[in-house]
Amino acid sequence: MADELKLKDLLPDRLGRLGEEAKKKMCEDEQVSGMRLAWGYIASQLDGAIRGALDCDLFELLGKGWANAQLLSEYADPAKHPPGNREMLNVGEYSFDRELHPTVEVTIAAKRCAELEFTLTLTGHFSGLHLTILDGHILGYETGDAWASAQLSYHEVPLHEEKETKRLPLPGQRDFTAPGIAIPRLG
């Protein structure tokens, strides 16, 4: 079911280049480069930390992406959309990209060795989507299909092939936690 899809599910089982890229960064520190370390173990711990940081509801995150779309910005203006007026917006076909930057701090033997910032490029695709909007907030969505793709990289070096979900029918209706997702006023 779409409600159960987590952002971490868009990562492959193995992040092949993760250990190699982390080792390069950490070995910039002379003390670390001189240590005999279990790099495979460090890579597995980094993998777990990244997955933990990305253990969030994919569709809730995509909803926050919708809120920042120019398409919705006018709904944050009470002069154009009076308070208390519940509206349904037919989005139709829509895609957007969003970058997330999970960061992992690496500590070995009480020494802070590195802070590794990753970039997760997330693309959300929607078809036949209707959003319910009230008082500058997205309350939820109805019907439609959605799918997403993601690419994790470190300093612009991809750590895996881009992964895409199947095209998923959105459950009949989904409400976000009250008061909904705020739509920022742009421009």
Q: How far apart are CA 8 and CA 61, in angstroms?
A: 12
| This prediction's pTM | 0.74
* H/E stretch holding 24: helix 18-26
> Which residues of the chain have a pLDDT value below 70?
1-4, 171, 187
Residue indicated by tokens 């989904």: 174
* pLDDT tens digits, one per residue of 88-105: 999 888 888 889 999 999
Supply the DSSP symbol for 160: S
Reduced to 3 states (helix: H, G, I; strand: E, B; else coil), residue 104 is strand
What pLDDT is stored for residue 181 in this prediction?
A: 92
What residues form DSSP beta bridges with 134?
A: 137
- Round the CA-based radius of gyration of the chain to a whole number and report it: 20
67-to-87, 104, 118, 165 alpha-carbon distances in Å: 15, 27, 24, 22
Q: Would you list the domain boundaries of the chain?
A: 2-182
